[in-house]
Amino acid sequence: MNVTDRLLGAALPLARMVAAEEGGGGHEEVHELPNLIGIVSRFLGDGAVSHFLHQWEGMIFAYAIAGIIIFFVHRATRNPTLIPGRLQNLVEMIFEGLTNFLMGVLGPQGREFVPFLGTLFIYILAMNLSGVVPAGKSPTANANTTVALALCVFCYVQYTGVRKNGVLGYVKHLAGSPRSAVEWAFVPIMMPIHILGELAKPVSLSLRLFGNVTGEDVLLFAFCSLGITALSFMNSPVGIPFQAPFILLAFLTSFIQALVFTLLSTIYILLMLPHAHAEEGHD
C-alpha cells in the first residue's frame, strides 16, 4: 500500500456518519469533518504519537492559531510607518474598529480593556473559522477550550471589580450595593444570589459558544456525508457539495458567536465598574 492509499484510507472513514472502528476493536462516533491532525494520527497507525495527536488535536490547533495571529501582528507592527502597508493598515483598521466598538459600550474608560477584549474577539473568531478551512478544526467545538476562555473572562472580571472598587466595594457589589436599612436586611439573601449569578456567567459563556460551534461542525459534516452517500454507488472519491451554502452561513455565525462572547464579556466588565463610571459610559 502506497502513501496515497494510506492517506485516503485514513481520511475517508472520518468523513462518514457511521462509527469508525479503532485499533482496540471499539467504536468511536465521528461527527466532524476530517482535519489534518486526525488524518496524520490515523496515517501513523496505533501508537503513542498517534494517540497523543488524537487526544490533543484541539489544543494543537488552538496553539497554531494563536501562533499565526502573533506572527501576523508582529509582522504588521515590527516597523510601523506613517504610510502603512497593506498588513499594517489591516491591523490598524481592526484595532480602531474594536476600540470604537468597545468604547461605545464602556465609555472613555473602555480603552484600557481593548487589549484583553480585542484579543479575545480575534482569537475566538479565528478558532471558529478554523473549522470552515479544509483540513482545519474549530478548537471552540471542544468544551475544554470554551470553558478555559470563559474562566479567563471570569477571573479578569473579578480582578477588575476588586481593582476598580477595592475589596470592600467589591464585597458590597456582590451584596447588591445596599443603601437603606431594608436593603441591608436582605443582604443574607441577595449576596448568595449575586455570587451564584457570577458563577453562572462562565458556564453560560462556555456552553453557548461550544454548542453553536459544535452545531456548525455537525451540520457541515451531515451534509458532506449526504453528498458522499449520494454518489456512493459510483465509488466516487468526492461527493455532491450539499454543504456549500452552509459554509457561507458558518462564516456568518462564527463572526456572530465571537461578537456575542466578546460583547457579553464587555457587559460583565461594565457591571463591575463603579456606578459613576458606568453612568458616564451610557452618556
Residue-wise pLDDT for 164-195, tens only, equals: 999 999 998 888 888 888 888 888 888 899 89
| Residue whose entry in the numeric block shows the C-alpha cell 502603512 | 84
Domain coordinates in residue numbering, the chain: 58-282
Spatial CA neighbour of 144 closest among 56, 212, 33, 39: 56
pLDDT exceeds cutoff 90 at 274: no
Confidence of residue 279 (pLDDT cuts 50, 70, 90): very low
From CA 109, how far away is CA 119, in angstroms rounded? 18
Confidence of residue 230 (pLDDT cuts 50, 70, 90): confident
More confident residue, 207 or 36: 207
pLDDT exceeds cutoff 50 at 22: no
Q: Exposed e or buried b for every residue in 155-165, given b needs 16+ CB within 10 A? A: ebbeebbeebb
Given a contact cutoff of 8 angstroms between Cβ atoms, the answer to whether 266 and 106 are in contact is yes
Interacting residues of 245 by C-beta distance below 8 A, sequence separation 6+: none
From CA 282, how far away is CA 232, in angstroms rounded? 59
The three three-digit cell numbers of residue 157, written as one number: 472580571
- Put simply, whether the predicted model's pTM sits higher than 0.85 gets the answer no
Reduce the DSSP state of residue 132 to 3 states and report it.
coil
More confident residue, 173 or 160: 160
Confidence of residue 112 (pLDDT cuts 50, 70, 90): very high
- What distances in angstroms separate CA 67 from CA 6, 63, 77, 122, 127, one per listed residue? 30, 6, 15, 13, 12
Confidence of residue 130 (pLDDT cuts 50, 70, 90): very high
Q: Which of 157-161, 174-178, 198-202 has the lowest mean pLDDT?
A: 174-178
pLDDT of residue 30: 55
pLDDT of residue 29: 53
pLDDT exceeds cutoff 50 at 116: yes
| Residue whose entry in the numeric block shows the C-alpha cell 465609555 | 107
Greatest alpha-carbon span in the chain: 81
Give the residue ranges of DSSP H helices in 56-135. 57-77, 86-106, 114-130
More confident residue, 218 or 239: 218
pLDDT of residue 271: 92
More confident residue, 152 or 16: 152
Q: Tell me the DSSP string of 79-98.
A: S--SS--HHHHHHHHHHHHH
DSSP E strands in the chain: the ranges are: 20-21, 27-28
